[in-house]
Structure 1
């Protein structure tokens, strides 16, 4: 029997991070089903997603059934950040080196640019092929959103490593045609694939019973439910989301806002009060577990994409849009985000705004209301059909099979 192809999966996220759980983990589990691969998984565990020692061992045991072998590491932050990151790179190098020696590893499969930026060091020193999934200009995101200065060491180092990763990768999977064209224009020699983030339609689909039960429990039977399940601040809008809610509520006092985030709830409540949105018009809860996300999306009428319209955001491919569409949910997005703005307009599965503000034009609110008046079953099927075409899980699997041969 042919030996499984050994692949090292490298992410700079936590194992329980929904981005990893709903994307990369599902992909490698699917790939593992034919027995042709062995995966060594390296993650960096943050307190936000911490597992107990018992939970970690249980997860390791379950992963081994898929021929996936997990090597969790600690995520460091705080003071002396660059020194801590350098130590992380050096210690992780020896782990990667030992895995390569033992299993004759051929590939590093890196998730997003930060992981790719670190991985390129390993691939150059250890003669490994670098495959990047979700290549996006993370360093530029940080500058445009005011989190870093372009002259800072953080930016200079990450930006340089991002460019190096693109130059030395064998294969790059990126979310939009915009980045495909940019990389080709820069003369990148890697095989570049347009591969928008996708979720499994066997997991994300409309659930009528969940819709009924959740709307009953929230007492929102006849209300228009807008949902935002995700992060606020950093790479995402913050108070601006509440400003948008204020505009929606001013236009329609039957609007109801379902917000699932680990952001400071007290601050959100204060902002809601400042915008005169009563507590009866919203429900605030922590992050929704991945297994329950389709239930909550099924209960909603419109999803929100919380990405601000800075220039580099056209290169992003938000997972939320894949989840919304496959659950039959139209969405609101800013102009210039991924290809999601174009898809929303061309296929009438969403509304595109220039920005999020409590002063959004009445015409914007009217367009949202008009979209919501479309027959519910017609809109659901329209969203699902576009989701399967635009964010097909199987398309990603087919690309990966072509790469890892």
Structure 2
């Protein structure tokens, strides 16, 4: 194979060899839902020779034997993790990662003969930039968001936290040096242009979903409802998938569940799929008067989420508002829409809050405005009364969350040099 030129002005003429870096672990739900679909798109391209998936493993997973699932392994895709050292202060651990991992990535890139790196998310983009600093290996960043400001506005990081200061600097360098940026919201694409990033290097790619895999399944609906003992087809079921706290509401979310129960009456049931301890979630449910009979709580594998969505009638997205939230794309909203579920969402969530208001994809509530939750629930009731509402809302996923958006972005930005 001819020697590979990593000058920023060059075009790759060989079949491409891509090092794809996920900031999440191999078994993380975000890797399953957002990384694997993009690997499939890339491997379908005839000009892609090989892909090396690199994940970052922390905690117990960092010591585990990891196996790339047969359903995802192909002759084009190989896998090698980066393993974080366990048992240290989280800040020191992350800082150590950002000194050690670039060296390991440089080794991997040379061994794999990578033409460029695609980093999934701004933290992965930071590592890709640190590799570029030493090697000038070109890089792209997809799911590019202002991660540092997200973490600060959510109260996870302080303005003086070294993690915040370094990540913000690295995001600035990504804007300046990445071959291409793929923000998840059109709002952020416009913001990046105002900051001076050339428009030709930016393509918006919202977090895409497999609309077929998450499509409504009547048989799954009946099966799950029977298993959970719900009182016939008249039961009104709301569902929430995700965590509580940090960028999501906590106490406010449980108050919202209570308001929904009051609005829909005795037939209301709640499904909560969360990685957080069931006992902790049940204590909070009990505190707002929701019993074990009314609420089902579990940690479900991502492969089972679609069946639970089919069992529900609408969904909750209690995302804590913050200025940077305008630039995000919640994967859960795309999955809700794909199942045909109208969504109760807070204002200013990426492009989605505006889409929900303009295209009747649910209802927007603001806990700081008296009467807003009640009005949103009333609006939701109107949407739920429309015949075949699930089919219409499913189309929102097809329009706004199709993987075709990622395919178009790759076509516009790859190979190296086409966005320079």
Shared fold per TM-score greater than 0.5: yes
Q: Which residue of 2 aligns with 1:300?
A: 312
Q: Which residue of 2 aligns with 1:134?
A: 143
Q: Which has the higher helix share?
A: 1
Residue 279 of structure 2 corresponds to residue 266 of structure 1: yes
Equivalent position to 1:8, from 19, 23, 26: 19
Residue 374 of structure 2 corresponds to residue 362 of structure 1: yes
Equivalent position to 2:212, from 202, 205, 210: 202
Q: Deviations over 1:256-303 (max 9, x none)?
A: 1100112122222222222112222111111x2222221111111111
Q: Which residue of 2 aligns with 1:107?
A: 116
Q: Which residue of 2 aligns with 1:317?
A: 329
Decide whether aligned partners of structure 1 residues 337 and 51 sit closer, same or farther in structure 2, where only a CA change above 3 A counts.
same
Paired residues of 1:334 and 1:356 also in contact (CA < 8 A): no
Equivalent position to 1:122, from 131, 155, 180: 131
Q: Which residue of 1 aligns with 2:354?
A: 342
- Aligned-pair distance for 1:34? 4.1
**Mapping of residues 3-402 of structure 1, within 5 Å:** 4-37=15-48, 38-47=50-59, 52-53=64-65, 56-57=66-67, 59=68, 63-76=72-85, 79-189=88-198, 191-220=201-230, 221=232, 222-253=234-265, 254-286=267-299, 288-355=300-367, 361-375=373-387, 377=388, 379-402=389-412
Choose between structure 1 and 2 for higher RCO, CA contacts under 8 A separated by at least 6 residues.
2
Which SS does the other structure have where 2:203 is aligned?
strand
Which SS does the other structure have where 1:279 is aligned?
coil
Decide whether aligned partners of structure 1 residues 392 and 21 sit closer, same or farther in structure 2, where only a CA change above 3 A counts.
same
- Aligned-pair distance for 1:199? 1.1
- Aligned-pair distance for 1:146? 1.4
Which SS does the other structure have where 1:335 is aligned?
coil
Paired residues of 2:271 and 2:297 also in contact (CA < 8 A): yes
- Aligned-pair distance for 1:109? 0.4
Decide whether aligned partners of structure 1 residues 81 and 134 sit closer, same or farther in structure 2, where only a CA change above 3 A counts.
same
Root mean square deviation of aligned Cα: 2.3
- Aligned-pair distance for 1:51? 8.6
Q: Distance in 2 between matches of 1:206 and 1:48?
A: 35
Q: Distance in 1 between matches of 2:325 and 2:23?
A: 20
- Aligned-pair distance for 1:186? 0.6
Q: Distance in 1 between matches of 2:391 and 2:229?
A: 26
* Unpaired segments ≥5 residues, structure 2: 2-12, 416-420
Paired residues of 2:184 and 2:328 also in contact (CA < 8 A): yes
Q: Deviations over 1:342-378 (max 9, x none)?
A: 1111111110011389975533332222222222x2x
- Aligned-pair distance for 1:211? 0.8
Decide whether aligned partners of structure 1 residues 62 and 320 sit closer, same or farther in structure 2, where only a CA change above 3 A counts.
closer
Q: Deviations over 1:4-52 (max 9, x none)?
A: 3111111211111111111121111232134532111211113476795
Q: Distance in 2 between matches of 1:212 and 1:124?
A: 55
Give the number of aligned pairs.
399
Decide whether aligned partners of structure 1 residues 263 and 61 sit closer, same or farther in structure 2, where only a CA change above 3 A counts.
closer
Decide whether aligned partners of structure 1 residues 146 and 90 sit closer, same or farther in structure 2, where only a CA change above 3 A counts.
closer
Which SS does the other structure have where 2:140 is aligned?
strand
Q: Deviations over 1:78-119 (max 9, x none)?
A: 644444334323332233222333343121101111111222
Paired residues of 2:59 and 2:86 also in contact (CA < 8 A): no
Paired residues of 1:112 and 1:133 also in contact (CA < 8 A): yes
